[in-house]
Structure 1
Amino acid sequence: MAALPLLLRVRTLPHLARRRVSTLRPTVRSMAAAATAPSDAFRKIQIQRDGTTFDAYVVGKENAPGIVVLQEWWGVDFEVKNHALHIARMDSGFRALIPDLYRGKVGLDVAEAQHLMNDLDWQGAVKDIRASVNWLKANGSSKVGVTGFCMGGALSIASAVLVPEVEAVVAFYGVPSSELADPSQAKAPVQAHFGELDDYVGFSDISAAKSLEKKLKSPGVPYEVHVYPGCAHAFMNTSPDGIKRRKAMGMHDENPAAVDLAWSRFRSWMGAYLLSP
């Protein structure tokens, strides 16, 4: 198992830390059981790679620059769809694609999400991302970036290292394990966002942000690392259901100004590398 899931297991929620891991035997739900963003905005497609097929969800203008949007540990749920819709509706116009890394499964509580992430084939997920990037390029997007949140943030940075077809990356609160990818070997420009109050030690806290910034100096690619005062983990999740879920996890911060600033920086970064000739 990759080190990234181990990092998150070390610092899990307080009420889960008191339970034995052996008691966490969730019944994983199908995607249909999860709350969703407006589903009619998305087109469901299938992508093939290495003898396997996975679903993906596309929204946005045909032939626009593409952005692969990577899920949190929950799976392809309402929140990652909200993010993809937001990206597709930016004034410049992007085409967003969400690959289903969990193959239709969604965690509806922390135990389920932990179980799904721990069972993820991380190298296989990188292959899914590369196949998604190449699908966009084969279907009208001349340039493609990758973004992601939490688990997806870590995979986004891994994409900057391992997926040569990527033009730019924006990662939200997540850093890959050294076994998966070394950020000092990044080949695409990386912008990263972290919350000052995030306490997932070594994965998305201040120490992880500083370590990432130090490593990104080595490859000579453009980079930015931003830390948002007063913000905890997953601060970009602003839907009513997302806020409710964060509060249930002990994250009571709400900072619309920080969210707006992060999206503005996202738009500028992706625009600079995907919209330019």
Structure 2
Amino acid sequence: MWRQEADTWKTKQTPSIKHARDSGSERALFTVKIAFALWGVRTMATADSFTKITIKRNGDGVTEFDAYVLGEAGAPGIVVIQEWWGVDFEIKNHAATIAKKGFRTLIPDLYRGKVGLDAAEAKHLMDGLDWPGAVKDVAASAKWLKENGSKKVGATGFCMGGALAIAGAVLVPEIDAAVAFYGSPDPGLADAATVKKPVQAHFGELDNFKGFSDVGAAKALEEKLKQSGAPHEVYIYPKVGHAFMNASPEAVQRGKTLMGFEDLNTEAVDLAWSRFNAWFSKYLSA
């Protein structure tokens, strides 16, 4: 059932992405890019407990990609799918948060090592993504988790990863449930009306990525999930926009500086994580 939260949180209005990109000088942008490169090194250095593995994609047995695993073998598995930036510090932060909740996480590197340092680079990488191929990466990741001790496996993702998490629920037999954050798949890739697995989705009221993760996209997804008959929940959080789950200081600053996003809303973040945990605890239990 679609749910809109009570309007109780206070954050500022989200400016347009164009305004955010036009408002700073090239020198300032260059400085920010260098800072994020350093932040990424520093933050990822704290993530030494991730194990880097190589997975062969299902089907051809030839295409390989790197992935990052964290959590105890035998725990329910969750494929954690990147935003348009790539496998950066924040997606690892998300995977670490999830692992602390008792899951085994696996991040597939869909960009094959590339990371966008500003919105234009990230958009270029996402525009060049082989989306059906990315679904195959998700499938291979889920299969790896099941072959390595996880009896049930979910998929979650953020931004483009949210869209791929839903696509995985539609197209990947090994996926048992999904939670998507501010992203919905193109019906040409995966029609959510045909999903048979439980899907939970989270969106921000101020999200302005029209047709992908704005309120209209959230409501359209809800209608498709109703048609599917699968268990589902769709939440829209007031006074937050796109990427509202990115809570590290580095990610908050990046969102505000490069994308024009609003301030961090910890109440929304905590509530979304609690719902995430309840959903996967229910549907990934053995």
* TM-score scaled by length of structure 2: 0.85
Distance 1:12 1:121, change over 3 A: farther
Which amino acid letter does the alignment assign opposite residue 53 of structure 1?
E
1:43 paired with 2:48, answer no
CA drift of 1:63 comes to: 1.0
Match of 1:212 among 221, 246, 255: 221
Unaligned runs of 5+ in 1: 1-10, 19-28
Distance in 1 between residues matched to 2:51 and 2:151, nearest whole Å: 20
Q: How many residues are treated as equivalent by the alignment?
A: 253
* One-letter identity of the residue aligned with 1:157: I
Residue in structure 1 matched with residue 268 of structure 2 by the alignment: 258
> Is residue 111 from structure 1 mapped to residue 117 from structure 2 by the alignment?
no
Aligned mate of 2:81, from 70, 74, 89: 70
Quote the Cα distance in structure 1 between the aligned partners of 2:151 and 2:252: 36
Pick one of 244, 259, 265 that aligns with 2:253: 244
> Which amino acid is 1:106 matched to?
V
CA distance in 2, matches of 1:199, 1:114: 15
2:143 corresponds in structure 1 to: 134
Tell me how far apart the structure 2 counterparts of residues 13 and 198 of structure 1 sit (CA, whole Å): 14
Secondary structure (helix, strand or coil) at the match of 2:219 reads: helix
Q: Check 1:185–1:12 CA distance in 2 against 1; reply closer, same or farther (3 A cut).
A: farther
Q: AA paired with 1:243?
A: V
CA 1:208–1:260 in 2, change beyond 3 Å: closer, same or farther? same
Deviations 1:201-258 (A, max 9, x none): 1100000000000000111110000000111100000101000011111112321011
The aligned residue for residue 7 of structure 1 is none
Partner of 1:13: 18
CA distance in 2, matches of 1:196, 1:243: 18
**Contact 2:20 2:260 (8 Å CA) reproduced:** no
Q: Which residue of 2 aligns with 1:79?
A: 90
Q: 4+ runs of 1 displaced by more than 3 Å?
A: 11-18, 32-37
Measured after TM superposition, the shift of residue 13 of structure 1 is 3.3
Unaligned runs of 5+ in 2: 1-15, 24-33
* 3-state SS of 1:116 partner: helix
**TM-score for the superposition, normalised by structure 1:** 0.88
Give the number of the structure with larger relative contact order, counting CA–CA contacts within 8 Å between residues 6 or more apart. Answer: 2
Deviations 1:44-85 (A, max 9, x none): 000002211100000011111100000000000000000000
RMSD: 1.9
User: What is the CA deviation profile of residues 159-184 of structure 1, one whole-angstrom value per residue up to 9, with x for unaligned ones?
Assistant: 11111111110000001112111100
Q: Indicate conservation of the 8 Å contact 1:164/1:187, yes or no.
A: no
2:249 aligned with 1:225: no
- Contact 2:79–2:107 (Cα < 8 Å) also in 1: yes
Contact 2:240 2:262 in 1 (8 A): no
Aligned pair partner of 1:55 in 59, 63, 66? 66
SS of the residue 1:202 aligns to: coil
AA paired with 2:86? G
Look up the SS of the partner of 1:87 in the other structure.
helix
